[in-house]
C-alpha cells in the first residue's frame, strides 16, 4: 500500500490467533509457550504448533479444568469432543487433553 508520500507500507498480521474448534475431532497440538490470566481471571494458554503458528485456547470451563496441571513448555494435544446440553439448556463444550510425559521428550 502506498500513500501520497510514496512510502511503502506493510500490513501487520497478528502473530497469534484464537483456536475455536467447531467440528468433533478437531485437534490442537504443540508446546505451551505462554499462560496468562485474562480480564475475567481465567487462564488462557498459547500453544506453539509444529508449523510455527501460535494459537490461543478457549476459556471454556471444562477445558480449563482439564488444563489445571499443564505448565509452560509442556507438549500437549487437545481434542474437541463436541457439545452436550447442560441441565440449564446451555451447551457444554467437551474436550480431552493429553500431555507428553517429560521424561520421554526428545528436544
CA distances from 67 to 18, 35, 57, 59, 104 (A): 17, 11, 10, 10, 20
E strand map for the chain: 16-18, 27-37, 43-48, 54-56, 75-85, 91-99
Q: How far apart are CA 17 and CA 33, in angstroms?
A: 14
> What is the set of domains in the chain, with CATH numbers?
16-102 (2.40.50)
Distance separating alpha carbons of residues 78 and 30, to the nearest angstrom: 9
Q: 17 pairs with which residues across the strands?
A: 55
Confidence of residue 6 (pLDDT cuts 50, 70, 90): confident
Strand partners, 48: 31, 54
Give residue 105's pLDDT: 55
pLDDT in tens, 51-62: 999 999 999 999
* pLDDT per position as a tens digit, 61-85: 999 999 999 999 999 999 999 999 9
Is 2's pLDDT higher than 60?
Answer: no
Reported as a single tens digit per residue, the pLDDT across 11-48 is 877 778 999 999 999 999 999 999 999 888 999 999 99
- Any bridge partners for residue 96, and if so which? 79
Amino acid at each position: 500500500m502506498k500513500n501520497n508520500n510514496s512510502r511503502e507500507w506493510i500490513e501487520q498480521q497478528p502473530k497469534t490467533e484464537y483456536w475455536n474448534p467447531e467440528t468433533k475431532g478437531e485437534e490442537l497440538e504443540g508446546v505451551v509457550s505462554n499462560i496468562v490470566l485474562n480480564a475475567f481471571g481465567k487462564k488462557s494458554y498459547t500453544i506453539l504448533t509444529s508449523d510455527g503458528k501460535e494459537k490461543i485456547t478457549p476459556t471454556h470451563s471444562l477445558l480449563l479444568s482439564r488444563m489445571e496441571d499443564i505448565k509452560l513448555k509442556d507438549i500437549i494435544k487437545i481434542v474437541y469432543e463436541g457439545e452436550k446440553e447442560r441441565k440449564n439448556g446451555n451447551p457444554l463444550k467437551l474436550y480431552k487433553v493429553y500431555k507428553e510425559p517429560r521424561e520421554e521428550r526428545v528436544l
